[in-house]
Amino acid sequence: MRVMEDIGFYCIDNLPPLLIPKFVDICDQTGGSLNKVAIAVDIRTGDMFADVYTTLKSLRSELHEQLKVIYTEASDEILLRRYKETRRRHPLAERCSSLPEAIQLEREQLQPLQAIADYYIETSRLSTAQLGEEIREIFLDNTTDSMLIKVMSFGFKYGVSTEADLVFDVRCVPNPYYIPELKTHTGCEQIVRDYVMKFPQSQKLLQKVTDLLEFLLPLYIAEGKSQLVVAFGCTGGKHRSVTFAELTGEAIRQKGYRVHKLHRDIAK
């Protein structure tokens, strides 16, 4: 919400769902002075939260593309750690015998929202800065309805990206990690890219992936998909996956698509 406010949105935290349409009416009466609004809705509204799904479905039929829903979540392990670090009390604690049970109940109540979300972000392995960057990429200068394509790299030893729609395992190509002069560099640097892409199998794999995406992207857009996450994984997430993510992202961007690149594990 802080990021949304920084990029020009009028932000409201924890508004009861039944009041959202009323606030939309107020915005309509301002003559355009409140034309960018962000509302955070979560389980803290208690029993009133049950109205959020029907409220948003009804609003979507009226506002169409003016309404965007962004859904964020994290793994149980990360949520447990965050509650421990912040010492915050779960909003459903009184209804459950334990924190894990409260988290599970929250997931069940949020599930219908995930189904209608335009954007989905799994925050478990994102830093605050990375999350902010994703929000800015989605909403800054968003003047068209074109799909946002997030091309990311990750390391399998840190866990597969759970938000990815398409995952490509590039551990099948030679690894620069075992070249002493390349070990400390990353796929963002030309010296690593040159090594990875000098092999015929790497060049052919890149061509196959870009050809596949060139075929798939118009189909996803035709289906109304707002975000597509394409992930490349290698062992550590620093060399091969970064190289393929960078080169694929640039190839897609040259085709006129809106691309955001993210290297999840490059600093690990």
Q: What is the mean pLDDT of each run of 10 residues along the chain (268 residues)?
A: 87 92 90 88 87 89 86 94 92 93 93 88 88 83 62 95 94 95 95 97 98 93 82 97 97 90 94
Q: What are the structure tokens assigned to 143, written together?
A: 């003047």
Report how far apart, in Å, the C-alpha atoms of 77 and of each of 1, 80, 188, 245 are. Answer: 24, 5, 31, 28
Global confidence as pTM: 0.66
Which residue has tokens 């912040």? 86
Where in the sequence of the chain do the CATH 3.40.50.300 domains occur? 2-139
pLDDT, position 83? 93
CATH architecture of the domain formed by 2-139: 3-Layer(aba) Sandwich (3.40)
Q: What are the structure tokens assigned to 126, written together?
A: 């994102």
Element (H, E) at 229: strand 227-234
